[in-house]
Amino acid sequence: MSNIQDKSESVIFPKGVKVSNDYFIGAAFLEMLVPHDNIFNCPIVNVTFEPRARNNWHKHPGGQILLVTGGKGYYQEEGKHVQELHEGDVVKILPDAKHWHGATPDSWFTHIAINTNVQAGAVEWLEPVTDEEYNNLK
C-alpha cells in the first residue's frame, strides 16, 4: 500500500537504542517520544523489532495502546489466537491483560506504544515467549 522507508530503520520516528533488558528475545529498539512525568501521565515509546524479536508475556496495570506504523507483527492475549498486525492497526490492551507483541519471522515491525493510566503502576514482566511457542502460534 505504501512504500515508506526500510522498516529496519523504523518508521517516521527514530529507531532509538537497542533494548538491553532481559524481557525481550531478539533485538528490539526503543525511542522515548514522551518520557514518564507527572504532567501528562502518558509515556510514549517508538518500538522497532527485528524479525522474530518479541517481548515476554507482560501486563500493564493501567493498559496500553499500540499504533502500528509499519512492518508486520504479532499480538497475542493469553488464551486467545494470535493476531497479525499491519500498518494502520490500533490495539487496545486492557489493564492487566496478559499479552505479548513482536515481529513476524519475515518482517521488521514498528509500533508506537502509548502507556495509559500509569498512576496504576508499572509493567509486570512475566515468562518469555519460547521458540517452541513462537514457532507454533495459533
Closer residue to a second copy (CB): 26 or 117: 117
Identify the residue among 27, 65, 82, 126 touching a second copy (CB under 8 A).
65
Which residue of 18, 36, 80, 92 would you call a contact of a second copy, by CB under 8 A? 92
CB atoms within 10 A of CB 109: 29
d(CA 99, CA 29): 19
121 binds a second copy (CB under 8 A): no
Between 63 and 102, whose beta carbon lies closer to a second copy? 63
**Cα gap 75→82, rounded to integer Å:** 6
How many residues in the shown chain lie near a second copy by CB under 8 A? 31
- For the beta carbon of residue 110, count every other beta carbon within 10 angstroms: 26
From residue 65, give the alpha-carbon distance in Å to each of 14, 20, 83, 119: 19, 23, 15, 16
116 sits near a second copy (criterion: CB under 8 A):
yes
Interface residues with a second copy (CB under 8 A)? Answer: 1-5, 11-14, 33-34, 39-42, 44, 63, 65, 67, 69-70, 87-88, 90, 92, 94-95, 112, 114, 116-117
